């Protein structure tokens, strides 16, 4: 690890050590109910993770755990409010990689994720998958790039959000071809248009697109994870064609900077135990999530790495217009 990376991780994790707490104080935590802020609507993927963890977390902490949904501004506003709050561990946020690592490059969030957040744990992650309509004469990413080169104006890709668009745009840039981006509000309409042949490719969460791959309504070309996934072990990674193009959706718990380390450690132990409960793991896996249940240090490194990765992608796309 170079000095710059080490400094970034130290800055990110320093929040857990800046506010010491007496042994008695750590033992007394929590003082009353713990609130988990979910910056998205009830019923969504982030909310699902929070509600699966909630009962076991409450049991471990010996206090009620309340989930409060505060959707809006792509999760930025509620996340910022928590991270600007009192650093006592009583209110924490379950947020996403987009909020913590991509959105900071797109505008002022009201907080710096590298210095104003105390990482607790990453809960789970899911990769993305590039798939094409069966009519497209491509079984590999290289063949899809060749198709786009030979058919100017015909190659398209649909997505349901900024991370997927950026990955598709970087792929086209690295392949030196034009692939028109078609934006959608969510996974379902994008996948439906891909299945119907209205667009000829789509980049979407693996869990959302799996049934259509299994039914052969769409053909998989690549996943955006670092390694092939268990669901489709024969599908190569996008990085095997274009080095460095990786991206996953992950969820993580954070507290405000300055939260005492004993409190962070207690929250981490309780949340990790909840995530490793067999029933919780089974439900998360069934929903397409890979359970992570890592350390605060691991999450700090993940934030730093992904923050730098999105910055590099955006440098490659100076004329990008997010849709």
- Check pLDDT > 70 for residue 215: yes
The CA distance from 308 to 2, in Å, is: 14
Distances (CA, A) of 123 to 19, 171, 272, 287, 298: 25, 28, 8, 13, 11
Report the b/e string of 64-73 with b at 16+ CB within 10 A: ebeeebbbeb
- In the chain, CATH 3.40.190.10 sits at 127-240
Give the pLDDT confidence of 66-117 residue by residue, as tens digits.
999 999 888 999 999 999 999 999 999 999 999 999 999 998 888 899 999 9
The CA distance from 155 to 321, in Å, is: 18
Contact between residue 80 and residue 293 where contact means Cβ atoms under 8 Å apart: no
Of the given ranges (5-19, 44-58, 59-73, 244-258), which has the lowest mean pLDDT?
5-19
- In the chain, CATH 3.40.190.150 sits at 3-126+248-315
The CA distance from 316 to 36, in Å, is: 36
| Fold of the 3-126+248-315 domain | D-Maltodextrin-Binding Protein; domain 2 (3.40.190)
Give the pLDDT confidence of 242-264 residue by residue, as tens digits.
999 999 999 999 999 999 999 99
Distances (CA, A) of 234 to 223, 237, 286: 10, 10, 20
pLDDT range class, residue 230, cuts 50, 70, 90: confident
- Taking the domain 127-240, which CATH number applies? 3.40.190.10
The CA distance from 177 to 198, in Å, is: 20
The CA distance from 277 to 180, in Å, is: 44
The CA distance from 40 to 47, in Å, is: 7
Look at residue 224 in the predicted model and tell me its pLDDT: 96
Higher pLDDT, 187 or 179: 179
| Average per-residue pLDDT for the chain | 91
The CA distance from 221 to 236, in Å, is: 7
């Amino acid at each position: 690890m170079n000095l710059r990376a080490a400094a970034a991780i130290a800055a990110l994790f320093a929040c857990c050590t800046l506010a010491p707490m007496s042994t008695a104080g750590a033992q007394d935590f929590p003082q009353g109910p713990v609130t988990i802020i979910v910056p998205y609507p009830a019923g969504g993927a982030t909310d699902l993770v929070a509600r699966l963890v909630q009962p076991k977390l409450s049991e471990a902490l010996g206090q009620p755990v309340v989930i409060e949904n505060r959707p809006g501004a792509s999760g930025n506003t509620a996340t910022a409010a928590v991270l600007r709050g009192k650093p006592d561990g009583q209110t924490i946020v379950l947020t996403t990689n987009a909020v913590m690592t991509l959105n900071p490059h797109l505008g002022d969030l009201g907080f710096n994720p590298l210095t104003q957040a105390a990482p607790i744990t990453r809960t789970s992650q899911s990769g993305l998958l590039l798939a094409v309509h069966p009519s497209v004469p491509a079984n590999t990413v290289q063949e899809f790039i060749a198709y786009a080169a030979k058919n100017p104006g015909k190659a398209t890709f649909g997505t349901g959000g900024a991370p997927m668009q950026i990955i598709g745009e970087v792929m086209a840039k690295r392949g030196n071809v034009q692939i028109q981006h078609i934006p959608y509000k969510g996974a379902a309409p994008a996948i439906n248009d891909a299945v119907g042949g209205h667009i000829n490719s789509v980049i979407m969460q693996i869990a959302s697109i799996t049934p259509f791959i299994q039914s052969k309504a769409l053909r998989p070309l690549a996943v955006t994870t670092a390694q092939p996934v268990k669901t489709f072990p024969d599908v190569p990674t996008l990085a095997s064609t274009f080095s460095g193009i990786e991206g996953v959706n992950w969820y993580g718990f954070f507290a405000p900077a300055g939260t005492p380390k004993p409190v962070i450690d207690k929250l981490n132990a309780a949340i990790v135990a909840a995530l490793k409960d067999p029933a919780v793991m089974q439900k998360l896996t069934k929903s397409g999530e890979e359970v992570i249940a890592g350390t605060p240090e691991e999450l700090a490194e993940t934030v730093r790495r992904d923050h730098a990765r999105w910055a590099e992608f955006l440098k490659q796309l100076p004329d990008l217009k997010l849709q």
